[in-house]
């Protein structure tokens, strides 16, 4: 079974530039999550989708971050404009539908460096 | 509210035991444990549910004290492969998924 795919794996940009990350979840997984993991910290949930609808985006800085999940499969997370404090690993995860939704499968992440 | 993990770091020799604790100031409905090796994605270890049900697939055990709002992860006879950072995540399991808040992590190093 193929895992969660993310691209790019690494990205270096200057502050005020824009960047986009792509995620392809495991086939058949209804729920998709985007997390931000700052070095030395635990993952922080940014946004959660179920199929193509947003379940929770309360921690997404909406003035600069946006995300979409078209057709309930792939998802894109965008930052525009980037700030220095956005430097982090952005993890995408997916899970099966309830009642098997407790296990989240994480992708390898995208390491973003903002200079 | 972010759960608090302790200790922050622990160093073991192969074969030794370790306990990692996770506590919350809010009522716990479920506790999820993940392990993340350096440069890799977090991997699910175990979930503990209110009411005592436990699901996992590795030879690692855990407890869940609902009254004290705490969970502990027990790693016995540690192996080199146990090295990594352990995160506990707390939250509810809902029909839309599990909305988790993760702790800061406990870095475990197992030496030969």
Which of the residues B51, B97, B99, B101 would you substitute to probe the A interface, choosing the one with the greatest number of A C-beta atoms within 10 Å? B97
Min Cα separation A83/chain B (Å): 23
Per residue in A42-67, pLDDT tens? 999 999 999 889 999 999 999 999 99
Check residues B94 and B108 and name the one with the higher pLDDT: B108
Question: What is the share, in percent, of chain B residues with pLDDT greater than 70?
Answer: 92
Cis previous bond, A92, omega within 30: no
Cβ B101–A101 below 8 Å, yes or no? no
Closest partner residue to A91 among B41, B94, B95, by Cβ? B41
Q: Does B54 touch chain A (CB under 8 A)?
A: no
| Chain B residues touching A108 at Cβ < 8 A | 40-41
d(CA B54, CA B66): 13
How many alpha carbons fall within 13 Å on the CB side of residue A38? 10
Report whether pLDDT(B59) > 80.
Answer: no
Cβ A102–B98 below 8 Å, yes or no? yes
- Tell the residue number behind the tokens 């969660």, with chain if given: A4
d(CA A112, CA A10): 6
Per residue in A9-38, pLDDT tens? 999 999 999 999 999 999 999 999 999 999
d(CA B66, CA B79): 30
d(CA B35, CA B15): 19
* Strands in chain A per DSSP E: 5-7, 10-13, 19-24, 31-37, 44-50, 53-56, 65-68, 75-79, 88-95, 105-106, 110-114
- Confidence band (pLDDT; 50, 70, 90) for B83? very high
Structure tokens at B104: 């800061």
Cβ B99–A45 below 8 Å, yes or no? yes
Question: Chain B residue closest to A106 (CA)?
Answer: B41
Report helix, strand or coil for A2.
coil
Could you tell me which of B89, B73, B92 has the C-alpha nearest to residue B24? B89
- Quote the distance between the C-alpha of residue B6 and its chain's center: 10
Closest partner residue to A102 among B93, B102, B103, by Cβ? B93
Average pLDDT of the residues in B93-101: 83
Closest partner residue to A43 among B40, B43, B102, by Cβ? B102
Which of the residues A102, A108, A109 would you substitute to probe the B interface, choosing the one with the greatest number of B C-beta atoms within 10 Å? A102
The answer to whether A98 and A55 are in contact (CB under 8 A) is no
pLDDT for res B103 = 96
Beta pairing, strands A75-79 & A19-24:
antiparallel
Question: Chain A residue closest to B103 (CA)?
Answer: A42
3-state helix, strand, coil in chain B (%, to 5): 5, 55, 45
Report whether pLDDT(B56) > 70.
Answer: no
Report helix, strand or coil for B18.
strand
Which of the residues B24, B41, B90, B100 would you substitute to probe the A interface, choosing the one with the greatest number of A C-beta atoms within 10 Å? B41
């Amino acid at each position: 079974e193929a895992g969660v795919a993310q691209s790019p794996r690494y990205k270096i940009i200057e502050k005020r530039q824009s960047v986009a990350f792509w995620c392809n979840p495991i086939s058949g997984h209804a729920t998709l999550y985007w997390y931000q993991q700052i070095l030395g910290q635990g993952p922080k949930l940014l946004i959660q989708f179920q199929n193509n609808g947003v379940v929770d985006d309360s921690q997404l800085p909406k003035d600069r971050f946006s995300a979409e999940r078209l057709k309930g499969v792939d998802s894109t997370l965008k930052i525009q404009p980037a700030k220095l404090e956005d430097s982090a690993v952005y993890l995408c995860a997916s899970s099966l539908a309830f009642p098997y939704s407790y296990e989240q499968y994480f992708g390898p992440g995208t390491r973003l460096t903002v200079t | 509210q972010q759960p608090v993990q302790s200790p922050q770091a622990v160093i073991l020799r192969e074969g030794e035991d370790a306990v990692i604790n996770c506590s919350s100031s809010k009522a716990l409905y479920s506790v999820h444990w993940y392990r993340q090796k350096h440069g890799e994605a977090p991997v699910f270890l175990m979930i503990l549910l209110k009411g005592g049900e436990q699901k996992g697939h590795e030879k690692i055990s855990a407890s869940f004290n609902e009254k004290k709002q705490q969970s502990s992860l027990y790693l016995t006879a540690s192996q080199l492969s146990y090295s990594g950072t352990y995160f506990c995540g707390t939250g509810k399991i809902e029909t839309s998924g599990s909305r988790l808040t993760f702790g800061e992590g406990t870095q475990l190093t197992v030496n030969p």
